[in-house]
Amino acid sequence: MAPRTSIDEFKELVNSSNRVLALCGAGLSAASGLPTFRGAGGLWRNHEPTALATPDAFEEDPSLVWLFYAWRRHMALKAKPNRGHYALAELAKKKDNFMCLTQNVDGLSPRAGHPDTKLRLLHGSLLDNKCFDECGFIDRNNLSDPVCPALAPAAEDYPPDKTLPLLDPNVPVPPVKVEDLPHCPNCKTGLLRPGVVWFGEPLDEAMLEEVDQWIQEGHIDIMLVIGTAAAVYPAAGYTLKARKKGAVVAVVNPDPNSAAGLLKKDFFFQGDASEILPQLFEGVIGKMDDQGKIQ
Ligand code: OAD
Write the pLDDT tens digit of every residue in 86-137: 999 999 999 999 999 999 999 999 999 999 999 999 999 999 999 999 999 9
- Residue 178 CB neighbours (<10 A): 12
Bridging pattern class, strands 192-196 and 124-131: antiparallel
Same domain, 69 and 170: yes
Q: How far is CA 158 from the centre of its chain?
A: 25
Confidence category of residue 231, pLDDT binned at 50, 70, 90: confident
262 and 155 in a common domain: no
Measure the CA–CA gap between 284 and 11, rounded to whole angstroms.
8
Q: Residue 123 catalytic?
A: yes
- What are the tens digits of pLDDT across the range 106-119? 999 999 999 999 99
| One-letter identity of residue 53 | A
Looking at the structure, tell me whether residues 97 and 223 fall in a common domain.
yes
Q: pLDDT value at position 176? A: 96
State residue 35's pLDDT score.
84
The per-residue pLDDT for 74 is: 94
Q: How far is the CA of 123 from the centre of ligand 1 (A)?
A: 13
Same domain, 145 and 263: no
Cis peptide before 146 (omega within 30 of 0): yes
Predicted confidence (pLDDT) at residue 215 exceeds the cutoff of 90: yes
Ligand 1 centroid–CA 42 distance in Å is: 13
CB atoms within 10 A of CB 141: 11
Shared domain for 64 and 103, answered yes or no, is no
Domain boundary among 196, 215, 249: 196
Q: Both 133 and 212 in a single domain? A: no
Q: Say which CATH number the domain at 153 has.
A: 3.30.1600.10
Percent of the chain with pLDDT over 70: 97
Helix, strand, coil shares of the chain as percentages rounded to 5?
Answer: 40, 15, 45
Whole-number pLDDT of residue 39: 60
pLDDT digits (tens, 9 = 90+) for 149-162: 999 999 988 777 77
Give the residue, out of 36, 128, 233, 269, with the most ligand 1 atoms within 8 A of its beta carbon, to mutate for a pocket test. Answer: 36
Nearest to 66 by CA among 181, 190, 169, 195: 181
Backbone angles phi, psi at 192, to 5 degrees: -80, 150
Does residue 117 share a domain with residue 133? no
CATH number at 12 reads 3.40.50.1220
One domain, residues 90 and 10: yes
pLDDT per position as a tens digit, 29-82:
999 999 887 765 555 667 777 788 999 999 999 999 999 999 999 999 999 999
| Whether residue 264 sits in one domain with residue 118 | yes
Give yes or no for residue 197 CB within 6 A of ligand 1: yes
Q: Are residues 161 and 174 in the same domain?
A: yes
Cβ–ligand 1 distance for 227 under 6 Å, the answer yes
Three-class DSSP category at 97:
strand
**In the chain, what is the straight-line distance between the N-terminal and C-terminal CA atoms, in Å?**
38
Residues 6+ apart with CB under 8 A from 114: 85, 88, 89, 92, 100
- Any atom of ligand 1 within 6 Å of the Cβ of 125: no
Q: Best of 50, 226, 232 to mutate for ligand 1, by most ligand atoms within 8 A of CB? A: 232
The amino acid present at 234, given as its one-letter code, is P
Phi, psi of 144 (to 5 degrees): -65, 135
Number of separate domains in the chain: 2
pLDDT at 146 over 70: yes
Domain boundary among 142, 176, 196: 196
| Ligand 1 within 6 A of CB of 231 | yes
Q: Does 36 contact ligand 1 (Cβ within 6 A)? A: yes
Residue pair 182/192 in contact (Cβ under 8 Å)? The answer is yes
| DSSP calls for 158-215 | --TTS--GGG-TTSPPPP--GGGS-B-TTTSSSBEEEEEPPTT-PPPHHHHHHHHHHH
DSSP 101-160: EE---SSHHHHTT--GGGEEETTEEEEEEEETT-SS-EE-S---SSSSGGGGGGG----T
Question: What is the 253 CA–ligand 1 centroid distance (Å)?
Answer: 10
The pLDDT value recorded for residue 147 is: 95
**Catalytic annotation, pick one of 74, 85, 114, 123:** 123
Same domain, 115 and 95: yes
**What is the pLDDT of the chain when averaged over all its residues?**
94
Residue 285: per-residue pLDDT: 97
Asked if residue 126 has its Cβ within 6 Å of ligand 1, the reply is no
- 153 and 281 share one domain: no
Q: What domain range is 177 assigned to?
A: 35-78+124-196
What is the average pLDDT across 241-246? 98
**Domain end position, chosen among 161, 196, 231:** 196
Give every CB contact of residue 96 below 8 A, 6+ residues apart in sequence: none
C-beta of residue 263 within 8 angstroms of C-beta of residue 2: no
